[in-house]
Amino acid sequence: MRQILFNKEDFHEQFLDYKNKGRIDKNHPFHNMFNKDIPNNIRYELEKRHMRNLARIDIKASTGNGKVAECFWIALLDKRLTSNPNSQKTTTQKGIFIVILFAENGEDFYLTIETGTENLSLSEIREEAAIWRERLQPELKHHKRLEGFHIGDFHLGKSLRPKKYVASSLIFKKYNIDHFDHHQLIQDINSLNEFFYDFVYEVYLDQDLIPKVEHQNKFKRKRIIHRDVYKQLREERSKQNEETGRIAEQFVYHKEVEQLKAVGSEQLAEAVVWVAETEDGHGFDIKSYYPDGKEKLIEVKGSKLTHHDFPFFLSEQERMVAEEEKESYVITLVESVGTQQMKIVKEIQNPLGKDDLHLKPTQYSCKIRVD
pLDDT (tens digit, 9 = 90+) per residue, 106-145? 899 999 999 988 788 999 999 989 988 988 888 887 777 8
Considering only 42-51, 93-102, 136-145, 326-335, which range has the smallest mean pLDDT?
Answer: 136-145
Q: Residue 138 in contact with residue 125, Cβ under 8 Å?
A: no
pLDDT confidence of residue 218: 44
Alpha-helical runs (H) found in the chain:
8-21, 29-32, 38-48, 79-82, 122-142, 160-167, 182-199, 227-262, 266-271, 316-325
Q: Report the number of secondary-structure helices (H) and strands (E) in the chain.
A: 10, 9
What is d(CA 226, CA 232) in angstroms, rounded to the nearest whole number? 10
pLDDT confidence of residue 85: 65
Smallest CA-to-CA distance from 74 within 165, 179, 176 is with: 165
Confidence (pTM):
0.85
pLDDT confidence of residue 219: 45
pLDDT (tens digit, 9 = 90+) per residue, 64-92? 988 999 999 999 999 989 987 666 789 99
Smallest CA-to-CA distance from 330 within 299, 291, 354 is with: 299
Considering only 4-8, 184-188, 293-297, which range has the smallest mean pLDDT?
Answer: 4-8
pLDDT confidence of residue 217: 46
pLDDT (tens digit, 9 = 90+) per residue, 214-227? 544 444 445 555 66
Exposure string for 164-174, b = 16+ CB within 10 A, e = fewer: bbbbbbbbbbe
Judge whether residue 271 has pLDDT over 50. yes
State the amino acid at position 276 in one-letter form: A
Collect all residues with Cβ–Cβ distance below 8 Å to 5 and sequence separation of at least 6.
38, 41, 42, 45, 182, 185, 186
State the amino acid at position 221 in one-letter form: R
Domains of the chain in sequence order: 8-225 (3.30.930), 244-353 (3.40.1350)
